Amino acid sequence: MTDRTTLRLSDERKRLLEQAEEIVAADPSDDPPMSDVIDAALTHLIESQENLEDVRDRYPPVEVKDCCNTSVLRLRYRTSIDSTWR
């Protein structure tokens, strides 16, 4: 990953950040800083992958795939967890 000094916000990124902000906000009047929203999203991604690794051998593969497959963490039938971002 390269360090960048700017974060370009396309319309899609703005929409995703707004959706994530609604999840992170304590109530409808809360306006959390973007850094908190990004930190929460990154933490969730990392914890999701760790949780998937923890349950892979305890539940049937199809059940794990049906419950946990997302556009970010795609599961192959029992072989690996792949991140589709970049």
Q: Count structural domains, the chain.
A: 1
In a domain, 35, yes or no: yes
Assess contact for 75 and 64: CB atoms under 8 A.
yes
Domain that holds residue 47: 12-83
Question: Cβ of 61: how many Cβ atoms within 10 Å?
Answer: 14
Averaged over 16-33, what is the pLDDT?
A: 93
In a domain, 21, yes or no: yes
pLDDT tens sequence across 26-79: 998 999 999 999 999 999 989 988 888 888 888 887 788 788 877 777 776 655
In a domain, 39, yes or no: yes
In a domain, 1, yes or no: no
